[in-house]
């Protein structure tokens, strides 16, 4: 990708190296960590305890790190700058797409973290991978995931990394369009199998929206970039991950879609550049 020298987004919070659990802006001490561990051993959910503390339940207040003290703007390191440049390009693409519909696009904030992070959606470790939190409209990314993408999933390349960011931004687009809210409402009334299918449709649509961004980012692309994205999409399909884990392939348990489905919907977006082709909620997948 020809990304160097391009505008980097200022909508970045760099929380790398910071504790995800803080008390009035100060990391929780050893006593607080022991309390959380004890709560977990007794069968409780540590997040519930943190939520109680957030609401002033008789202890120090735990909250997500405030903006104060968290570096804002494009990071200085190469990988962080790359992520900020990709984010900036998604801002331009979706700003133009929304503008043509007479709607203002409000870009998400990209939060870079290491190991674990606290968001409005709770406390998450890096093991969950990149994610989007609709409650605070932020994309969360531990950049070490890019190493996993190459070493564990066999999907190297900067466009593969950009696809990951664009997919999470796709979830933000869904949120702004009201799609996520409607799906969440349906999922609350669904069986487990129906809930999984709705999740798959939502994820495949985010893949397609990532492809829409890729179509409009042609001036960034170099030979082989699109193939990198295809390999990444195929590598993280539910069926492929189940086989790698030595498990039986169970389509009813999928939450993100098969490798073939992920590649297909990413390709649809890449070929057309039109978000209207990304309706995964009509018909069979």
**Per residue in 203-224, pLDDT tens?**
999 999 999 999 999 999 999 9
pLDDT of residue 33: 44
% of the chain exceeding 70 in pLDDT:
83
For the cut 70, the answer to whether the pLDDT of residue 44 exceeds it is: no
pLDDT of residue 73: 87
pLDDT of residue 21: 60
pLDDT of residue 36: 45
Higher pLDDT, 67 or 123: 123
Per the prediction, the chain carries an average pLDDT of 87
Q: Can you give the pTM of this predicted structure?
A: 0.83
For the cut 60, the answer to whether the pLDDT of residue 53 exceeds it is: no
pLDDT of residue 24: 38
pLDDT of residue 20: 77
For the cut 90, the answer to whether the pLDDT of residue 71 exceeds it is: no
From edge to edge, which strands make up the β-sheet containing 131-133? 12-14, 109-112, 138-141, 131-133
**Per residue in 23-40, pLDDT tens?**
334 344 334 444 444 444
């Amino acid at each position: 990708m020809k990304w160097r020298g391009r505008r980097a987004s200022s909508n970045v919070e760099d929380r790398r190296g910071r504790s995800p659990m803080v008390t009035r802006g100060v990391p929780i001490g050893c006593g607080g960590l022991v309390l959380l561990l004890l709560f977990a051993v007794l069968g409780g959910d540590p997040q519930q305890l943190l939520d109680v503390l957030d609401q002033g339940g008789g202890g120090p207040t735990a909250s997500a790190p405030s903006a104060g003290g968290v570096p804002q703007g494009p990071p200085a390191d190469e990988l962080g700058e790359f992520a900020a440049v990709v984010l900036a390009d998604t801002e331009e693409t979706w700003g133009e797409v929304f503008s043509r519909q007479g709607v203002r696009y409000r870009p998400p904030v990209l939060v870079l973290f290491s190991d674990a992070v606290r968001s409005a959606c709770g406390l998450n470790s890096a093991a969950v991978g990149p994610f989007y939190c609709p409650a605070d409209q932020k994309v969360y990314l531990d950049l070490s995931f890019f190493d996993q993408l190459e070493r564990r999933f066999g999907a190297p390349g900067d466009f593969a990394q950009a696809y990951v960011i664009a997919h999470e931004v796709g979830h933000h687009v869904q949120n702004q369009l009201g799609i996520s809210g409607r799906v969440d409402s349906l999922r609350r009334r669904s069986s487990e199998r129906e809930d999984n299918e709705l999740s798959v449709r939502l994820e495949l649509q985010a893949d397609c929206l990532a492809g829409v961004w890729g179509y409009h980012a042609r001036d960034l692309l170099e030979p082989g970039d699109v193939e990198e994205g295809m390999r990444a999409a195929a590598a993280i399909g539910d069926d492929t991950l189940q086989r790698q884990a030595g498990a039986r392939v169970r389509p009813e348990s999928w939450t993100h879609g098969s490798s073939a489905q992920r590649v297909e919907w990413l390709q649809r977006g890449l070929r057309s550049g039109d978000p209207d082709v990304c309706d995964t909620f009509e018909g069979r997948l």
